[in-house]
Amino acid sequence: MTADAFLAFYPQFDRVFPEIVVSSYVEEANLRFADFGEDAEAARRLYIAHRLTLYAKMMPGSMESGSGRTASYSSLASAGDGSRITSKKVDGVAVTYASGTSASGSAESELMDFTETIYGLQLLSMMRMYSYTRYIP
Q: What is the pLDDT along the chain (137 residues), one digit of tens a residue?
A: 999 999 999 998 888 888 999 999 999 999 988 877 888 999 999 999 999 998 888 876 545 444 444 456 655 655 555 555 555 667 777 665 544 444 444 445 556 688 888 899 899 888 887 665 555 55
Give domain limits for the chain.
Answer: 3-129
pLDDT on residue 50:
93
With a CB cutoff of 8 Å and minimum separation 6, the contacts of 14 are: 7
* Cα–Cα distance measured from residue 124 to residue 120, given in angstroms and rounded to the nearest whole number: 6
Q: What is the pLDDT at residue 45?
A: 97
Whether 22 and 13 have beta carbons less than 8 Å apart is answered as yes
Please state, in angstroms and rounded to a whole number, the distance separating the CA atoms of residues 28 and 33: 9
